Amino acid sequence: MKYTTQMDAAKKGIVTKEMKCVAEKEGMDIETLRILVSQGKIAIPANKNHKSLEANGVGQGLKTKINVNLGISKDAYDIDKEMEKVKVALDMNAEAIMDLSNYGKTAEFRKKLVNESKAMIGTVPIYDAVGFYDKELRDITVDEFFKVVEKHAEDGVDFVTIHAGLNKETVETFKRNKRLTHIVSRGGSLLFAWMELNNKENPFYEYFDRLLDICEKYDLTLSLGDACRPGCINDSTDASQIKELMILGELTKRAWDRNVQVIIEGPGHMAINEIEANMILEKRLCHGAPFYVLGPIVTDVAPGYDHITSAIGGAIAATYGADFLCYVTPAEHLRLPNLDDMKEGIIAAKIAAHAADIAKGVKNAEKWDYKMSKARQSLEWNKMFELALDDERPRKYRKESTPHHNDSCTMCGKMCSMRNMNKILSGKDINLLREDD
């Protein structure tokens, strides 16, 4: 039986090779997975032209996934450096990479990325439009916007961020309800500017079915972007954000009717006490579609440390329903991240994702921690390093400060609680002061 998309296959009772791959990775019953894909509660972004992909699922009951942003820009144009980041991100098991390139040979970089990446690839086509056509934003036509989307789809990207919820109604809501930081989404601000300069409706909203034609053709997952996400905690959970979310919920149903998979993008900057309610609201208004959050960054006063502020918010968000975390690096708001920034961002996001998976009761999440605790109790240092989310730093710290006794560290020495409890419980003397053991 033929099918057009993963959702179409799932509705027809067909189990695809991508579904089998996800079910095996997650330890989920394949029929349960198929049903959730058919309902839109799990998305498996898998463009028909992405031949190197090792499929991952995003959504209900699955491990929380993370995304890594990278790409070339006019101020930082080095394809080789970005490809080095890609290799490291893949080595660190990032499930998704978003190419946010907006200048120069974007197609060359994108094709290379798709060809070499086992992770799912996302893009924001509107970033590419100005450079692709070498035209000012206001002069880009509706047809040209859609041609860029189709080019990205043809090149094999698995999901695209499209800010289709920023329609004229949302814009009027935004204008009536003043914000401190306005519209901070780069793609959203560009669409807003195009709409204002041309006095026209958002083409991706007005011609949404045309967008769905492209998605259906390539099995391109639609990541419905949050143009009105809050850019500071002062603007969170306001009228603009909620208005757009309501529109995204309506568009989600239209996409599912065409068997197009959907992911909803969310906030943003947000105080900790608002996160749980926002997750519940998104799942309710968008009918259980997978939720992809950008942070949330829980305070605005820590530039240089926003990998930490976002990990705090990400852990809470994922605990209460977010399925996909966009990493944030220490360089957020400051510059293009370098390789070390990227590593810090990936580790922080992975910590947040795993912490939430434990809270959500995701299958086998606690087993990893149990094994680490067992290795600590047994003082098996190499086993601890093997189990570590990142083994490089703990090995480095251990090597930099070698203890006199190998069954301890230089913090506690022979007063190590693990060491002493093991000895006492096995009927041995503790021996704190004598040199002999």
- In SS3 terms, the chain reads as CCCCCHHHHHHCCCCCHHHHHHHHHHCCCHHHHHHHHHCCCEECCCCCCCCCCCCCCEECCCCCEEEEEECCCCCCCCHHHHHHHHHHHHHCCCCEEEECCCCCCHHHHHHHHHHHCCCEEEECHHHHHHHHHCCCHHHCCHHHHHHHHHHHHHHCCCEEEECCCCCHHHHHHHHHCCCCCCCCCHHHHHHHHHHHHHCCCCHHHHCHHHHHHHHHHHCCEEEECCCCCCCCHHHCCCHHHHHHHHHHHHHHHHHHHCCCCEEEEECCECCHHHHHHHHHHHHHHCCCCCEEECCCECCCCCCCCHHHHHHHHHHHHHHCCCCEEECCCCCCCCCCCCHHHHHHHHHHHHHHHHHHHHHHCCCCHHHHHHHHHHHHHCCCHHHHHHHCCCCHHHHHHHHHCCCCCCCCCCCCHHHCHHHHHHHHHCCCCCCCCCCCC
404 pLDDT band (50/70/90 cuts)? Answer: confident
Which pLDDT score, from 0 to 100, does residue 437 have? Answer: 52
Which residues are annotated as part of the binding site for substrate?
Answer: 69, 98, 127, 163, 185-187, 226-229, 265, 292
Give the annotated binding-site residues for Zn(2+): 269, 333
Cα distance from N-terminal residue to C-terminal residue, the chain = 71
What pTM did the predictor assign? 0.95
Q: What is the sign of the dihedral through the CA atoms of 56, 259, 152 and 199?
A: negative
Instruction: Determine the average pLDDT of the residues in 400-410.
Output: 88
Q: 65 has which bridge partners?
A: 324
Please state the residue numbers annotated as binding site for [4Fe-4S] cluster.
Answer: 409, 412, 416
183 has a pLDDT exceeding 60: yes
pLDDT at 436 over 60: no
- Give residue-wise pLDDT tens across range 325-383: 999 999 999 999 999 999 999 999 999 999 999 999 999 999 999 999 999 999 999 99
Out of 10-14, 27-31, 101-105, which region has the weakest mean confidence (pLDDT)?
Answer: 101-105
What is the pLDDT, as a whole number, of residue 66? Answer: 98
Can you say which residues are annotated as belonging to the binding site? 69, 98, 127, 163, 185-187, 226-229, 265, 269, 292, 333, 409, 412, 416
Percent of the chain with pLDDT over 90: 91
pLDDT category at 406 given cuts 50, 70, 90 is confident
Q: What is the mean pLDDT of residues 18-30?
A: 98
Neighbours of 305 (CB within 10 A): 15
Q: What domains are defined for the chain?
A: 6-360 (3.20.20.540), 364-400 (no CATH), 403-437 (no CATH)
